[in-house]
Structure formats: C-alpha cells, structure tokens
Amino acid sequence: MPDPKLHDIRAVLFDIDGTLLDTFEFIYGAFEFALDRHGIQPLPREEISRLMGGPLEEVYAVMVPNGNAKTLAESHRTFQSENLRLATLFPATIEVLESLKHRGMKIAAITTRSIRTSVRSLEETGIAPYFDLIISGEDVEFVKPHPEPLLKAIKSLAVKPEEAVMVGDTHADITAGKNAGVKTVAALYGFGGELLLELKPDYAIRDLRKLLDIV
C-alpha cells in the first residue's frame, strides 16, 4: 500500500546536489582533484559518500586528519567553479518543479555548497526561476545537519514547520529536517543511497517523480 499523501504542505525545501541535480562527477571529481592536487591518495567513492553532507572543511578534516582542510576545501571549490558543466539536471527535475509551482507550493533550495557555485548551478541548468529562496553555505552560521538553514527558510517563506517538507539525499538533509521539525523525504537515488533508511525518514523515494505522489 502506498504511503498516505501529506496534507497541509505549503513549502518544499530541496537539497541541490544528488536531489535536483545530477552532480556525481561534479562532487566526486572535486574531492578527487583536491586530494590528488595535494599529493593525497583519493578515497574510494563509496567511502567519500559516507562522509559527505556536512561543512566541507569538516569533511576534509575527517578524510585527512593531518592535512590542511581549509586548503583542500579551496581546491575543491576551485574545481567546481571551473567545471559547472558537470552539474546536470535529473530527467524529472523540471517536471517536478513545474508541477509543484502549479500547485502553489513555495520552493526553497538549501545547500551546504558555497554560494560561488550553488546559484550558478541552478542558473546554468535553467531552474533558478522556480525557487522562492536559495540558501547557500555562507548564508547561515551553521549548515545542515543543524536546523538553522531550514528554520531560516521556513521563516522567510512564512510557513510553519508542519507545513514544510525537506527533500534530500544525505544524512545531513534528513537529520536537519528532523531537527527543524519538518517532514522528511529521503531521495535514495542520490549520494546517501539506501543507508538513509536507517534514519527513518517520513518518506523515501527512488525517483524524483514520486515526490508528486506525496505532496
């Protein structure tokens, strides 16, 4: 039996990478470039995926305990700035955003990624106009999994926590949603995969189109 449809939802909060945009090569490539550039053997992608989601400097600090996390993160961001073409739309992204807008939903993009590339990714893939709000890493003091970005979005969109849903593909997305008191939808097709089910999200989807059956 399918999950019951959410009622009284007025706002959908989306993560960007691995949720709306296919950024597997954009993200993994940046990690591999940064590590290689500083003479460090890149980790297997499966291991990288388990560490992703939080502040970039913190991710590198865990990956390379004796390395310079700030320098590694800067190399990472430089790669992404120069390779925006690697961020592409999932097949259903525009269809889903168009449908949500048609239903009168408010839509926000909430990412830990730097503003240097986040907004440009949305602009270059043609979906920036769908968003009422875009929150990047520099727009808050604490990024996901802290609830601050979500609470800031909820306040700006003038909705209550129970009227919003967070859709994301990493541990940080689902945890942030729970911390903010909003419903959560795990995008299992993204970076976090099936492991997100361990967090007991309210819903889980393996295709972005399935979101339209929920909200």
Residues annotated as catalytic are 15
Three-class SS of the chain: CCCCCCCCCCEEEECCECCCEECHHHHHHHHHHHHHHCCCCCCCHHHHHHHCCCCHHHHHHHHCCCCCHHHHHHHHHHHHHHCHHHCEECCCHHHHHHHHHHCCCEEEEECCCCHHHHHHHHHHCCCHHHCCEEECHHHCCCCCCCCHHHHHHHHHHCCCHHHEEEEECCHHHHHHHHHHCCEEEEECCCCCHHHHHHHCCCEEECCHHHHHHCC
